[in-house]
Every structure is written in C-alpha cells, then in structure tokens.
Amino acid sequence: MNSADVKSYDNTKSWFYTDTVKDHFFNPRNLVKKDDEINVKDYNGVGIVGAAQCGDMMKIWIKVDNNERIKELKWQTFGCASAIASTSMLSVIATENDGMKIEDALKIKPHDIVARLNGLPTRKFHCSVLGDKALRAAINDYFRRTGQNDRIIVEGERIIDKVLKITDKDIEEAVLDGADTFEKVQQRTKIGVQDKTCIPEVEQLIRFYKEKYFG
C-alpha cells in the first residue's frame, strides 16, 4: 500500500512513497552514521560524489574479495529520504547472495534500484543516481588500488551545443528530471535553439540516457 507523505506547497499535488521506501529510510541498511563506526583500512574501494555544501553528497566504501565479489558496501550521505532509501537498497542489491561480481555491479541502473523500492516519485528519481555514481567511483578506486587502470571507466563532460556551451551532463540531468523528449529537453536547457547542428546528437543522447536510467 502507498501513502501520501509529502504535499506540494499549494496542496495540489502529492508525492507517494511506498512502504519499501519508508522502510529503507527509517531503517537504512549498511549506513555509516559516524566516521568511527568504520575502519576504512578494511575496504579496498571508496567513491565520493556531490558535495555536502550543496546538500547532496554520497560516499561509498566497498570491500571486494579475491573473486571480485562485493562482500560489503557501506555508505554515508547528506541527502533526502529518497536518496537514503535508494542507497540503502543499492547496498542490499550489491551484497546479497554472497556479493555481486564487479562486472555485474557496473551494470546496475537506477531503474533497477527504483524497481526494488517498488517505485519513487518521478521528481525524486534523480536521487537514485547518487548511489549509482558513487558505486562506480568506488569500483574505479578499487581498479586503481589493484593496478587495473585499463578497467577504469572515465566519465566526463562534453560540450554539445557550441553556442550556449550546453554539455552532455546538462542533457543527462534534464532526462533524469523527467524531460523524455527533445522538445522537453530544449524547453529546459534551450539546447539547439541557436546551434541547430547539434540536434541529431542531442536526440541520440536523450535515447541513450533514457535507456541507461529507465531501461
């Protein structure tokens, strides 16, 4: 059963949180509340995304065994209820059944996390991305520590609209916020209004990010 927990300021809209989301928010799995609760030397990968000053920050520690299974995943965040619940569920997914193999963990999509939570409000879907990105950063750190630099996955920004200097990250964030068509992305970012040569690439990126995050 779902229940409305949060309403908009004008009471015209409600956000619905599932019982699973509320369970992982009130009883988060594998959460590190204080730094002295964890011995970082026991973990061979750490990933950090965001910044506490901006209100969204995620830190993940992973312990990977000799068979490249994630035996433990601990995390810490400054984020909302959806971010907490999403990362709690991510920690379960990555460590259940004797631990997920690294190669499989890299295939986890925010869509998979949201499905296990039995859904998130559309406006809160982007919260599931924090843990996903922090996990990939932790896995990259594991690759560095074990001398597997050729397996590191580089994620950077690339300018798509040469006139307005709009990047692929801007498009990604627009899609995560619900802009699922070119028209919606353009309305949000103004991409392609002046630099029309970028439109085919924008449409391709929209399809890519929709598949990546929503399946």
The 10s digit of each residue's pLDDT in 78-91 is 778 888 999 999 99
CATH architecture, domain defined by 2-151: Alpha-Beta Complex (3.90)
Catalytic-role residue among 34, 54, 107, 149: 54
Q: Does the annotation mark 127 as catalytic?
A: yes
* Residue boundaries of the structural domains of the chain: 2-151, 159-214
Cα separation, 189 vs 187, whole angstroms: 6
Q: Does domain 159-214 have CATH number 1.10.10.1100?
A: yes
| Backbone angle region of 47, left / alpha / beta, with phi > 0 → left and psi within -120 to 50 → alpha | beta
Most confident of 63-72, 145-154, 175-184: 63-72
Q: Which stretches of 79-210 are assigned E, i.e. beta strand?
A: 159-161, 166-167
Joined tokens for residue 96: 């259940």
Average pLDDT over residues 68-77: 96
Cα separation, 16 vs 19, whole angstroms: 10
Joined tokens for residue 136: 């990939």
Domains 2-151 and 159-214 are alike in CATH topology: no
Place of tokens 């399809």: 207
Tens-place pLDDT, residues 5-49: 444 334 444 557 899 999 999 999 999 988 788 898 999 999 988
Amino acid making up residue 12: T
CB 203 within 8 A of CB 185: no
Catalytic-role residue among 70, 94, 127, 202: 127
For 198, phi then psi, to 5°, come to -85, -10
CB 99 within 8 A of CB 63: no
